[in-house]
Structure 1
Amino acid sequence: MSTESVEGTSDRMVEVTPEAASEALALMEREGMDVDVGGLRLFVQQGGCAGLSYGMRFDDEPEEDDTVVERHDLRVFVDPASADYIGGSVLDYESGLQAEGFHVENPNVVSECGCGESFRT
């Protein structure tokens, strides 16, 4: 398992905003998860009209081949296949009148579907 620290360099796999980390940690604690071991899994899966979509879930611990990125006390688990698609991305949490939830800003995306739920690199 590889691990990146908060003090990492500009080649970070995933950045996490303080808002996203705070919301994810609060959700994990409400689920009774150990935030020191568990984390948010960010992955890419086939699907959507543009071909790929993001997935997120909480896991109790990382898989052996995951990269574990720690940002603002949140552990983010990324599998090797997804790492190729999301390197350099920023995970944010937005709340507003029309939408609330996690959002991935991915510099590798060349096109997105009209609703923004899927992408192509």
Structure 2
Amino acid sequence: MSTTADGGAETRTVTVTEDAAEQALALLESEELDTDVAGLRLFVQQGGCAGLSYGMRFDDAPEDDDTIVEAHGLRVFVDPSSEKYIAGSKLDYENGLQAAGFNVENPNVEAECGCGESFRT
């Protein structure tokens, strides 16, 4: 299943800001991965004091059952079991005085732990 962020009538699993795409693409290229095929995998895993946490890694290619979101030249892969937890989320990149990194804004979250590392839907 594939979705696009640049128009069309299909529903997006996640939206990706331009800043997040630029940062991820730079990292993919530094790993010498082909950005036409490889992408950023966004997933949900068990863990943390609230029950679930986000994970991200680079993959050479999507799995057969992944949803593929394409935005600003970046391909984001989401597996079916993670999709139900992150549908409608926004992936952003924040660069602040104390920290820099990717951030997931998830409208499905009912509660987060105090440190913000885990969540519950």
TM-score normalised per structure 2? 0.96
1:3 is aligned to 2
Gaps of 5+ in 1: none
Q: Name the aligned partner's letter for residue 13 of structure 1.
A: T
1:27-68 alpha-carbon deviations (Å, 9 max, x no partner): 000000000000000000000000000000000000010000
Correspondence 1:64-103 to 2 at 5 A? 64-103=64-103
Q: How many angstroms apart in 1 are the aligned matches of 2:10 and 2:105?
A: 16
Q: Name the aligned partner's letter for residue 15 of structure 1.
A: T
Where 1:33 maps in the other structure, the secondary structure is coil
Where 2:49 maps in the other structure, the secondary structure is coil
User: What is the percentage of aligned positions where both structures have the same residue?
Assistant: 70
1:63 is aligned to 63
Where 2:103 maps in the other structure, the secondary structure is strand
Q: Which of structure 1's runs of 4+ aligned residues deviate more than 3 A?
A: 8-11
1:21 is aligned to 21
Q: Is the 8 A contact 2:45 2:53 kept in 1?
A: yes
- Cα RMSD of the aligned pairs, angstroms, is 1.0
1:70-109 alpha-carbon deviations (Å, 9 max, x no partner): 0111000000000000000000000111111000000000
Q: How many angstroms apart in 1 are the aligned matches of 2:49 and 2:63?
A: 29
Q: Name the aligned partner's letter for residue 24 of structure 2.
A: A
Gaps of 5+ in 2: none
The worse-fitting range, judged by mean Cα deviation, of 6-15 and 18-27 is: 6-15
TM-score normalised per structure 1? 0.96
